[in-house]
Chains A and B, each alone.
Chain A
Amino acid sequence: MAEKKQNIRNFSIIAHIDHGKSTLADRLLELTDSVAKRDMEEQLLDNMDLERERGITIKAHAVKLDYKAKDGETYELNLIDTPGHVDFNYEVSRSLAACEGAVLIVDASQGIEAQTLANTYLALDHNLEIVPVINKIDLPAADPERVAHEVEDVIGIPCLDSPRVSAKTGENVEAVLEEIVKLVPPPENRDNLPLRALIFDSIYDSYRGVIVYVRVMDGKIKPGDTMRMMATGAEFTVVETGYMRATSLEPTKQLSSGEVGYITASIKTVSDARVGDTVTTAENPAAEALPGYRKVNPMVFCGIYPADGADYENLRDALQKLQLNDAALSYEPETSGALGFGFRCGFLGLLHLEIIQERLEREYNLDLVTTIPSVIYKIHLTDRSVVEIDNPCNYPDPATIDFSEEPVVEAHIYSPPEYVGAIMDLCQDRRGSYEGMTYLDADRVDLKYTLPLNEIIYDFFDVLKSRTRGYASFDYEMKGYQKSSLVKLDVLLNGDVIDALSFIIHADKAYPRARKIAEKLKENIPRQMFEIPVQIAIGGKVIARETVKAMRKDVLAKCYGGDITRKKKLLEKQKEGKKRMRQFGTVEVPQDAFMAVLKLDD
């Protein structure tokens, strides 16, 4: 039997959104004195503003905790926090691959959710030891016994004796640490093998270059070694190795097998240190990379334009900087008749898109206009060639199209049985094909559907939540392409096609969607000094029409005596409001109108 590194435990935490992952992580940090009291703030690991606001984890995080257990030994606990959204499934799988165990947090009042289950199965696939923890026992609706039975029934792991805790009040949290020590197996000592370290995250730091987060599987790495990325072949001289502490990095002489830590090597962009890649050394390279690497490809595309054309360069700089830290983000310049100069950007999913957009707006102070997201369609032309279209503006002349294909996903929806009807209606409406239904237990079913990706990128999750009063959860993975009947819809304002509002849609959906878009635009385009026809057309044929009536009056109040300055400010404000609008010919369209078209709820 291989020798073990007895005092190391590597684990991640699996939880559904709001089940208390970040709060539990906070308690673990406190209990292990990893953070000075004065530095403690809520959700310490979620250190992006966005993460704290939305209560989600976007980037993976890792932290080393020193824990003196009841057996008298001090253990090195490496907590690898994982993102909690389908857009980041691949990152989750890499984080799990870096661990021997996973703490499964289940809400004592709500039970298991789809995301939890999907990630738990992912953890089981990686042979991780699962440490179930029942959280939120302080809630009045908590029913830990029922939830424990559910975990045993659904996942098939013992749970009846698992810790019942309240991360919020701190009750019994120490039991979680004890369980981790007891249940999670220590890593094997494989120091003698050639280096293989799994990259589970990397972040860009403007002083040190990329900081690569790794789990060392085999061998050792130390400053001065020449590290080699096995997928890209890129080589760098290691500058520093160390451990991640809660609020700082702690340099160390080397990292060896079983350990979790970081490497810096003056790497300039995160695309040279891709998540899932294997680090080895040029001096003594490993024969084979660790399994599971794949380059993540964007699935959802949209145009991002500066509201003020003068910000184009700033937008480019910002995208460049974000990409340093986000290998999944892609962008290339594009031009729109309506919006001017901007970028076609690719994302893992809609959440990823929203995050990037918000970061551009907040961290780089840019006003943006975003076009309707699109997936990649494969258009087969009559000349037997195939074009891939992620931008409606490049949609070929329908006369030259033989047939079209669109991407589909395999989706799992977990829900209490009483919402099955509502979910089936929704999936039907989204052109899903039913693949099967499994009862996980008396209170929960797993509905399997094949769904076109373009039907779920806008608002599927929100609608699902609202139709099931928040009970259903949802997970998907790419399945491939299927034949489809597509058309391109054009929006015309005052007779002019607004290219930035065009989009590709299934033919059956064209009419209802066109009507809804026309209505939305009518609602969101403010009355102007003349009447504006809003038309939606396929090819040259108008299939929906609304009219924005002409504005008749603006404010006409008592003139404030001689207060000319106030009057001037009012006019300036009016003009300022116009700046947030886009001029299309003679029509002014506020940016909200673009968003409104994007978010068509049912």
Chain B
Amino acid sequence: MKKIGLYLHIPFCSSKCPYCDFYSMRSDDALREEYVAALIKNIRFSAEQYCCKADTLYIGGGTPSVLGKEKLYKIVCEAVSAFDVKDEITVECNPHGIEDGFFERLCEAGVNRISLGLQSANDAERKRLGRRADSEEITRVISSAKRAGINNISLDVMLGIPDSTPESLKATLDYCIDSDVTHISGYILKLEENTPFYKMRERLNLPDEDSVCDMYFFMCEYLSENGFSQYEISNFSKPGFESRHNLKYWNCDEYLGLGPSAHSFIGGERFFYPDSISDYLSAPAAEYEGRGGDFEEYVMLRLRLSEGIKEKEALNRFGISLDALRKKAERFADEGLLLCDTEGIRLTRKGFLLSNTVISELIY
């Protein structure tokens, strides 16, 4: 039986960043205690219900590191034993306020990958984003993770930060390269409604569309020159260090997400736990979204990957040839947005930036 990906959501942050619309809140120790207990119960129950193994575990948030090393240790151990996870175990961390011995303890539980929210190497830019760690602290955290034996480290970088410039982006990328990490995620800032940034959008000195595009192309180019190959729209890695967990989303493979706002795709069904910690604490009840994993979803998700969709796989998994899609794709190919050949269809870098438009044209 194919192994699934297990995702655990930790909906706590010590403070809310002004651009973020993910489900998270502040917490005290009692609430964290209660949540960990509920999550562990949910892990055990789900393991019995689905009776499957997982090869990746990803603890995301919010900010999982606010739980502290002992609670995370407990959760990881529970999940590992319930789903027999052996391969990739990632924990997202905010570099600010990491306690002594944190990574050692995680390592003991089996954690072998860390994802750190760097966003920018420029202290002023990070401050604008509400991030509290300074670069010294981040550097310290990275080396302490490595000292603990966790060498598979991913850094999140953000493009289009207010007041940012191509120079500041280059400095951030240099920082990542010099830190000798294995993986970099580079996202473009998007103003989500109901965030403080959205409300103050008129007053933010955001780089214009053209320069953000140029920065994106620069990032792709520069990282590849420095040994990071782009395997997804926003993700770059040293060879063999792609995020196996995240690849499951884009490959349309199965995953189980536990915790409020976590999403699942398992047994052909999509469902999620609603954004309510109180409901989750009293009795976790998933909401069903219906069947998933059809050809359209596959196209939508796989086109985010550099290798795109493959003729062979489409035939094997869905019994659908790509001929019809190729025809639709023609005009985008003419514009240099994607590449079509006998093997399959994939977006170019130019196409990545217009992926929403191209994909929606292709599948609807």
Docked Cα-Cα span, A530 to B332, in Å, equals: 10
Docked Cα-Cα span, A118 to B210, in Å, equals: 56
Is B81 interfacial (CB-CB < 8 Å)?
A: no
Docked Cα-Cα span, A553 to B347, in Å, equals: 13
Is B263 in contact with A529, judged by CB distance below 8 angstroms? no
Docked Cα-Cα span, A558 to B119, in Å, equals: 12
Is B228 interfacial (CB-CB < 8 Å)?
A: no
Chain-A contact segment, one of B32-40, B143-151, B355-363: B355-363
Is A552 in contact with B209, judged by CB distance below 8 angstroms? yes
Question: What sequence of 0s and 1s flags, for each residue 341-362 of chain B, a beta carbon within 8 Å of any chain A beta carbon?
Answer: 0000000001011111111110
Q: Separation in Å of the B320 CB from the closest CB of chain A?
A: 18
Is A563 in contact with B263, judged by CB distance below 8 angstroms? yes
Question: What sequence of 0s and 1s flags, for each residue 301-339 of chain B, a beta carbon within 8 Å of any chain A beta carbon?
Answer: 100100000000000000000000000000110010100
Question: What sequence of 0s and 1s flags, for each residue 565-593 of chain A, a beta carbon within 8 Å of any chain B beta carbon?
Answer: 10110111011001000000010000000
Is B355 in contact with A562, judged by CB distance below 8 angstroms? no
Is A564 interfacial (CB-CB < 8 Å)?
A: yes
Is A554 in contact with B264, judged by CB distance below 8 angstroms? no
Is A355 interfacial (CB-CB < 8 Å)?
A: no
Docked Cα-Cα span, A557 to B20, in Å, equals: 11
User: Which parts of A286-336 form the interface with B (CB within 8 Å)?
Assistant: none
Q: Separation in Å of the B273 CB from the closest CB of chain A?
A: 11
Is A554 in contact with B263, judged by CB distance below 8 angstroms? no
Is B272 interfacial (CB-CB < 8 Å)?
A: yes
User: Which parts of A508-567 form the interface with B (CB within 8 Å)?
Assistant: 529-530, 551-565, 567
Chain A: which residue is nearest B255 at the CB level? A562
Give the residues in chain B near A567, CB-CB below 8 Å.
Answer: 300
Docked Cα-Cα span, A156 to B65, in Å, equals: 86
Question: What sequence of 0s and 1s flags, for each residue 187-225 of chain B, a beta carbon within 8 Å of any chain A beta carbon?
Answer: 111101000000000000000011011001000000000
Chain B interface residue number, banded: 35 or more
Give the residues in chain A near B289, CB-CB below 8 Å.
Answer: 565
Give the residues in chain A near B213, CB-CB below 8 Å.
Answer: 552-553
Contacts A552-B353, A556-B353, A574-B356; A562 near B335 (Cβ below 8 A): no
Is A572 in contact with B249, judged by CB distance below 8 angstroms? no
Chain A: which residue is nearest B190 at the CB level? A557
Is B212 in contact with A586, judged by CB distance below 8 angstroms? no
Contacts A530-B335, A564-B263, A571-B356; A552 near B270 (Cβ below 8 A): no
Is A563 in contact with B272, judged by CB distance below 8 angstroms? yes
CB-based A-B contact count at 8 angstroms: 102
Contacts A567-B300, A571-B359; A562 near B7 (Cβ below 8 A): yes
Is B233 in contact with A556, judged by CB distance below 8 angstroms? yes
Docked Cα-Cα span, A555 to B189, in Å, equals: 9
Contacts A561-B249, A561-B262, A575-B364; A555 near B356 (Cβ below 8 A): yes
Q: Which of A529, A559, A586 contacts B304 (CB 8 A)?
A: A559
Q: Separation in Å of the B226 CB from the closest CB of chain A?
A: 22
Is A554 in contact with B357, judged by CB distance below 8 angstroms? yes
Docked Cα-Cα span, A562 to B254, in Å, equals: 10
Q: Separation in Å of the A190 CB from the closest CB of chain B?
A: 69
Contacts A564-B297, A571-B364; A553 near B265 (Cβ below 8 A): no
Give the residues in chain A near B166, CB-CB below 8 Å.
Answer: none
Give the residues in chain B near A530, CB-CB below 8 Å.
Answer: 335
Is B257 interfacial (CB-CB < 8 Å)?
A: yes
Q: Separation in Å of the B237 CB from the closest CB of chain A?
A: 16
Docked Cα-Cα span, A586 to B361, in Å, equals: 13
Is A553 in contact with B212, judged by CB distance below 8 angstroms? yes
Is A554 in contact with B265, judged by CB distance below 8 angstroms? no
User: Which parts of B54-80 form the interface with A (CB within 8 Å)?
Assistant: 60
Docked Cα-Cα span, A564 to B264, in Å, equals: 9
Q: Separation in Å of the B247 CB from the closest CB of chain A?
A: 12
Docked Cα-Cα span, A485 to B359, in Å, equals: 50
User: Which parts of A145-183 form the interface with B (CB within 8 Å)?
Assistant: none
Give the residues in chain A near B358, CB-CB below 8 Å.
Answer: 529
Is B234 interfacial (CB-CB < 8 Å)?
A: yes
Give the residues in chain B near A557, CB-CB below 8 Å.
Answer: 187-190, 192
Is B300 in contact with A562, judged by CB distance below 8 angstroms? no
Q: Which of B189, B297, B331, B357 contacts A551 (CB 8 A)?
A: B357
Docked Cα-Cα span, A558 to B272, in Å, equals: 18
Is B364 in contact with A564, judged by CB distance below 8 angstroms? no
Q: Which of A556, A561, A563, A565 contacts B355 (CB 8 A)?
A: A556
Chain B: which residue is nearest A554 at the CB level? B356
Is B162 interfacial (CB-CB < 8 Å)?
A: no
Q: Which of B216, B270, B356 contacts A564 (CB 8 A)?
A: B270
Contacts A553-B212, A557-B190; A564 near B355 (Cβ below 8 A): no
Q: Which of A561, A578, A586 contacts B60 (CB 8 A)?
A: A561
Is B292 interfacial (CB-CB < 8 Å)?
A: yes
Docked Cα-Cα span, A77 to B270, in Å, equals: 69
Chain A: which residue is nearest B214 at the CB level? A552
Docked Cα-Cα span, A555 to B363, in Å, equals: 17
Give the residues in chain B near A561, CB-CB below 8 Å.
Answer: 7, 60, 249, 257, 262-263
Q: Which 7 A-B pairs have the closest CB atoms?
A: A557-B190, A553-B353, A562-B263, A554-B356, A571-B360, A552-B213, A575-B364
Beyond A554-B357, A559-B246, A564-B292: 14 further Cβ-contacts under 8 Å? A551-B357, A552-B354, A553-B216, A554-B355, A556-B187, A556-B190, A556-B216, A556-B353, A557-B189, A558-B187, A564-B263, A564-B300, A571-B300, A572-B364
A sample of 30 cross-chain residue pairs with beta-carbon separation below 8 angstroms, ordered by A number, consists of A529-B332, A553-B188, A554-B353, A554-B354, A554-B357, A555-B190, A556-B233, A556-B356, A557-B187, A557-B189, A557-B190, A559-B304, A561-B257, A562-B257, A562-B262, A562-B264, A563-B272, A564-B249, A564-B263, A564-B292, A564-B301, A565-B263, A565-B272, A568-B300, A571-B300, A571-B356, A571-B360, A571-B364, A574-B356, A575-B360
